Structure 1
Amino acid sequence: MKLAVFSTKPYDKRYIEAARDAAAAKATESPANRPASADIEVVYHEFALEEDTVALAKGADAICAFVNDSLSAPVVEALARQGVKAILLRCAGFNHVDLVAAEKAGIMVANVPSYSPEAVAEFAVALIQTLNRNTHRAYNRAREGNFALDGLLGRTLHGKTVGLIGTGKIGIATARIMKGFGCRILAYDPYPSPALEGIGEYKSLDEVLPESDIVSLHCPLMDSTRQIINETAIAKMKPGAMLINTSRGGLVDTRAVIRALKTQHLSGVALDVYEGEGALFYDDHSGEIIHDDVLMRLMTFHNVIVTGHQAFFTQEALREIADCTLRNIDEFVVTGTCKNSLTKDLKLVRRDSLPVRGV
């Protein structure tokens, strides 16, 4: 079996190769249960998958893609014509995949549904702490010999209300951490999780927004959640609230956020994701002129933190992503599908994807 991996970074190759080595070792110990991943041929491409690069998948039985790869209908159809039978996502989200096209083409799509949710939750809390206490500004000041405290005033988190939009594994992990800070936890999710019991309480979105000092997003991107934080939602938020997004950039109307920052309705914004990140994130553009005027305007605010979609980026998460991807391959080779398949029951996937439903 041949696997073509797109949007490959050095760390992707390192962890995938480590997972292959582990599979090979397992095969040596138990030849009768030799996993398919022990013999798989892997071709790594630094390029993102899109219509202009889909030809690189020629000869592959499966492809492996990341969050900013394009898996639109034309790309999926081109993959099918080249004989690709499986699309393996190195992520949980699948908003960038045309599942209908994949189903029609007979291509299985599988994701990595959970990889160290604590990693993303911890990063969200790190953004909250940094933004709240201005440690990013203090760091830069101290490096220049400026130890003045004016302009660095923060707020004690203890006793504040944190509103979580989406209570999947990441949202619940975030809730637990913020509860430990002594915060009151409110949450909105059409599918309440029993795991929130004793930590926080569910309310409607219209109730969560005006009561929360901090609003943190932990839901997938789909039609029902696209720009869930827009002009109307921001107007409902408590004056002086902070907004944190470690999920998907399309959940936020960036222009509406800029207007709220200018009027000081929002006291700060921390984004690890951005709606136009596909052309920028995961690459070094420090020697170039960035032409995204919206992003550049956003980054002029001293009370805005933008990071490059790194919340997931821990050793544990990369190891689980690689291991789960190979497990998906092994199951697919044996059964033609796998437990993480998103196309085994397309109607169910699409119905469950309509509400917010946390990740």
Structure 2
Amino acid sequence: MKIAFFGSQPYDRRFFDEALSSQPDASSIELVYHNALLSQETAILALGANAVCVFVNDVLDATVLAALHDYGVRAILLRCAGYNNLDLPAARRLGFFVARVPAYSPEAVAEHTLAMVQTLNRHTHRAYARVREGNFSLDGLLGFNLHGKTVGIVGTGKIGLATARIFKGFGCTVLGHDPYPSTHFAPLGAMVDLPQLLAASDIVSLHCPLMDSTRHLIGPATLPQMKRGAMLVNTSRGGLIDTGAVIEALKSRQLGSLAIDVYEQESSLFFHDHSSDIIDDDVFQRLMTFPNVLVTGHQGFFTIEALREIAAITFHNLDCFRHGGDCGNSVA
């Protein structure tokens, strides 16, 4: 059984090799790691593989899926929860086995959300740079207490719930919005409609999947509904935010600050070192000019616990494909 990994990084190799070593039939499984993202041009690298293992920025449109099928691939193992980059009808039509990792250490993303909020609010990134230069001035570093503030959680799945618990522990009033609300949210806060959440929240944190119904959920129609000067946080999917509209809201001071771990056009930027390159994404470069914007490179999931869980669940999904058992993580 040969599995071709696309968009693989050193940490993928570390944790998947570690997980493979504990498999009872490890000698029958071959892992082949490719740095390149999966696309129409790179699909040929899967020739001879039984399965591909892919991440959020790999392209899985109908053309790529047809090529993979022609090369003998029969399973697509997503080492992530979201699959908005997958043409699901095409995958079903071609008969692919497709499985994902629906939840991996929700606390990892929730804790990163809090870290971004606290960094942006208390300006610790700027304070760190100042102190290293011998500047101990506090001017410009004024923040606010989280205690007593209202935090809106958009999406009350496992990550949204973990985030709500953290903010509840800080003494925040927590509001939630979800078309399919979790019954576990009730002890944490009140479920409200989206306009009510936006109007009342000092911090709005996005934790919903990217679908047609949620694309640009925060955009020209919803940004004016937000409490003026509120903080917006997105550690879910870049396409939930209309970046151009958010830039305009930052310029008008309607939006007080922005923290993002994901970006709509991140596939050409994130997970690679561009420090010696000219970044030609003008929208991203404009974002980086704001002192009240904090960007991290899709690292919310990046903990030891999460990576071990991703590898373990992916191997479970592989076993389902190999042995034909029921797979609760299947999406096709």
Q: TM-score range by the shorter chain?
A: over 0.9
Tell me if 1:327 matches 2:316: yes
Deviating more after overlay: 132-141 vs 67-76:
132-141
Alignment correspondent of 1:251? 240
Task: Report 1:86-165 matches (<5 A).
Answer: 86-165=75-154
Change (3 A) 1:175 1:38: farther
Distance 1:22 1:16 in 2: 10
Alignment correspondent of 2:16? 16
Alignment correspondent of 1:172? 161
Q: CA deviation at 1:238?
A: 0.2
Per-residue CA deviations over 1:33-78 (Å, capped at 9, x if unaligned) read xx5x552111111110000000110111100001100001100111
TM score, norm. by length of structure 1: 0.91
Tell me if 1:206 matches 2:206: no
Alignment correspondent of 2:7? 7
Change (3 A) 1:173 1:141: same
Matched to 1:6, the amino acid is F
Q: CA deviation at 1:337?
A: 5.6
Matched to 1:238, the amino acid is K
Matched to 1:11, the amino acid is Y
Give secondary structure in 1 for the equivalent of 2:232: strand
Alignment correspondent of 1:296? 285
Matched to 1:102, the amino acid is A
Matched to 2:69, the amino acid is A
Task: Report 1:183-262 matches (<5 A).
Answer: 183-262=172-251
Tell me if 1:43 matches 2:32: yes
Per-residue CA deviations over 1:183-220 (Å, capped at 9, x if unaligned) read 00001001111111111110000110000000000001
Distance 2:137 2:220 in 1: 36
Q: CA deviation at 1:267?
A: 1.2
Matched to 2:5, the amino acid is V
Distance 2:160 2:67 in 1: 36
Matched to 1:292, the amino acid is D
Alignment correspondent of 1:269? 258
Give secondary structure in 1 for the equivalent of 2:222: helix
Matched to 1:231, the amino acid is P
Distance 2:228 2:308 in 1: 41
Gapped regions of structure 1 (runs ≥ 5): 28-34, 344-359
Distance 2:56 2:187 in 1: 34
Q: CA deviation at 1:336?
A: 6.2
Give secondary structure in 2 for the equivalent of 1:92: coil
Matched to 1:285, the amino acid is H
Q: CA deviation at 1:286?
A: 0.2
Matched to 1:76, the amino acid is L
Please list every run of at least 4 consecutive aligned residues from structure 1 whose deviation after the TM superposition is greater than 4 angstroms.
none
Give secondary structure in 1 for the equivalent of 2:197: helix
Q: CA deviation at 1:140?
A: 1.2
Distance 1:10 1:337 in 2: 31
Matched to 2:105, the amino acid is S
Give the one of 60, 74, 81 matched to 1:71: 60
Q: CA RMSD in A?
A: 0.9
Q: CA deviation at 1:229?
A: 0.3
Distance 1:260 1:331 in 2: 47
Matched to 1:134, the amino acid is H
Task: Report 1:332-351 matches (<5 A).
Answer: 332-335=321-324, 338-343=327-332
Give the one of 39, 43, 47 matched to 1:54: 43
Gapped regions of structure 2 (runs ≥ 5): none
Distance 2:291 2:245 in 1: 17
Distance 2:195 2:224 in 1: 11
Distance 2:3 2:244 in 1: 40
Per-residue CA deviations over 1:297-334 (Å, capped at 9, x if unaligned) read 00100010010000000000010111111111111111
Matched to 2:208, the amino acid is C
Matched to 1:121, the amino acid is A
Q: Residues 248 and 273 of structure 1 are in contact (CA less than 8 Å); yes or no, is this contact kept in structure 2?
A: yes
Q: CA deviation at 1:146?
A: 1.0
Count residues with an aligned counterpart: 332
Give secondary structure in 1 for the equivalent of 2:90: helix
Q: Residues 108 and 337 of structure 1 are in contact (CA less than 8 Å); yes or no, is this contact kept in structure 2?
A: no
TM score, norm. by length of structure 2: 0.98
Does 1 or 2 have the higher relative contact order (CA < 8 Å, sep 6+)? 1
